[in-house]
Amino acid sequence: MRILRFDSLLRQLSWLLLAIVMQSVWLVPAAFAQKPQPAKSYQLSQVEFMGLRRLTQEQALAISGLQSGDPFSEAAVDEAAKKLMDSGMFARLGYAVKSTGNQVHLTFQVEEAARSLPVAFDNFIWFTDEELFTAIRRDVDFFNGTVPESGSVADAVANSLQRLLDERKIPGRIEHLPEEDLSHRLTYLYSVRGVAMPVCALHFPGASGISEEELAKAAKQLTERDYSKTSTSVFASITLFPLYRHVGRLRAKFNEPLAKLETDGSPSCKEGVALTIPVEEGVVYSWEKAEWTGNEALSAAELDEALGMKAGEVADGLKFDKGLKAVAKALGHKGYIAARINSAPSFDDKNQRVIFKVDIKDGPQFHMGELLLKGFSEGDAKRSASDGL
């Protein structure tokens, strides 16, 4: 039997503790003995966009605010993604990164917004469209004449135009909003407010079948208001074009109005706007016939009689409109008070004649029901009923 001495046991424990301490020292990370190494820095080597249809790579990159050679960080990429989405140019966006060494290739997968609206300038009488585009591209270098329906781009364009006014010391403010044009196409309209632009002269180059004097008289309302390209185009379509339809010039058209700011050199129009509305009058058409389709309640002969147009006469558009109302009234007398009438012209330019194709949907035939008269005495009501009311 082995007997251990106490002092021997203490010596063994001491050596064991020393061995444990020494082993711990060797296993401790080098951080206890050395300074920490800096984190590895990454750099953007390339930024690429997949899915672009209207924008170029350069334009999308300009919106993001990123450049090759920039330091790479997740926060910077998230901020760029936010700028891209806030612009309104994109409907969806995602990104992926690929690194080689400290170089990072960043790829954005995007889906552009479904629709961008064309920009229209309403009353910037001091500038050409080219000058306006140049001013906008100082701040919005990817501007291509359109803006998305939502997002920050429309406001950025407005800010650029406001800066242009301020630089030229023009005391106006920029307003902008989506608006339908004459073709019912939605555009983004930019206007200047707070500056007087009285129309003091009217010109109608191209007018001959109807004199400039007659057109100017019909357009007198334009000289009683400030200039607006949009309002002028609408006015020409609604008020002036019927003058040409009345004389058979059914394809007359007014081109885009032009406005010129007059100066002291034009005493009759000092500090006002000389407004020019070019017109293409077209030829005078003669009436050939109406071609009726869909009609059941009335025969073609009955419809021709109600329409009142005669072959060989000037195709008076206003007379034709009145005739269609007479057709609707004739159908109403038969009980077809909900009839629908659609017409479309077919032009023979060689012979200067026109045929109108008129489609009629008679709809249901209504019959007289109970007649209730309110506000009459009983005797008056009976007399009205006996008179056939």
Q: What is the DSSP string of 291-357?
A: EEES--SS-HHHHHHHH---TTSB--HHHHHHHHHHHHHHHHHTT-TT-EEEEEEEEETTTTEEEEE
> What's the CA gap between 340 and 338, in Å, rounded?
6
> Does residue 247 register a pLDDT over 90?
yes
> What's the CA gap between 140 and 63, in Å, rounded?
8
pLDDT per residue as tens digits for the range 365-386 = 998 777 676 776 766 656 655 5
> Does residue 20 register a pLDDT over 70?
no
- Of 62-66, 298-302, 314-318, 327-331, give the lowest mean pLDDT range: 62-66
pLDDT per residue as tens digits for the range 221-236 = 999 999 999 999 999 9
Residues 6+ apart with CB under 8 A from 277: 202, 203, 204, 215, 219, 232, 236, 240, 254, 255, 257, 258
> What's the CA gap between 165 and 72, in Å, rounded?
39
Confidence of residue 172 (pLDDT cuts 50, 70, 90): very high
pLDDT value at residue 180: 83
pLDDT value at residue 53: 86
> Does residue 12 register a pLDDT over 60?
no
- Of 30-34, 123-127, 257-261, 309-313, give the lowest mean pLDDT range: 30-34
pLDDT value at residue 385: 56
Beta pairing, strands 103-112 & 43-50: parallel
How large is the average pLDDT for residues 263-271?
A: 67
Confidence of residue 353 (pLDDT cuts 50, 70, 90): very high
> Does residue 15 register a pLDDT over 60?
no
Are the CB atoms for 227 and 123 separated by under 8 Å?
yes
pLDDT value at residue 5: 36
pLDDT value at residue 114: 78
Give me the count of residues in the chain. 389
Are the CB atoms for 54 and 112 separated by under 8 Å?
yes
The residue that leads in pLDDT, 244 or 377, is 244
- C-alpha pair distances (Å), 301 with each of 95, 168, 384: 70, 67, 35
pLDDT value at residue 330: 96
Q: What is the DSSP string of 164-212?
A: HHHHTT---EEEEEEEE-TTS-EEEEEEEESS--BEEEEE-TT--SS-H
pLDDT value at residue 204: 97
Q: What is the DSSP string of 105-131?
A: EEEEEEEE-S-EEEEEE-S-TTS-HHH
Whose CA is closest to 313, among 350, 354, 349? 354
Q: What is the SS3 assignment for 149?
A: coil
At 277, list the tokens: 């509305």
pLDDT value at residue 31: 43
> Does residue 242 register a pLDDT over 50?
yes
pLDDT per residue as tens digits for the range 58-105 = 889 988 999 888 999 989 999 999 999 988 889 899 999 999 999 999
pLDDT value at residue 27: 38
Residues 6+ apart with CB under 8 A from 119: 145, 146, 147, 157, 187, 188, 190
pLDDT value at residue 66: 92
Whose CA is closest to 89, among 134, 143, 162? 143
How large is the average pLDDT for residues 247-275?
A: 85
Confidence of residue 33 (pLDDT cuts 50, 70, 90): very low
**Mean predicted lDDT score pLDDT of the chain:** 86
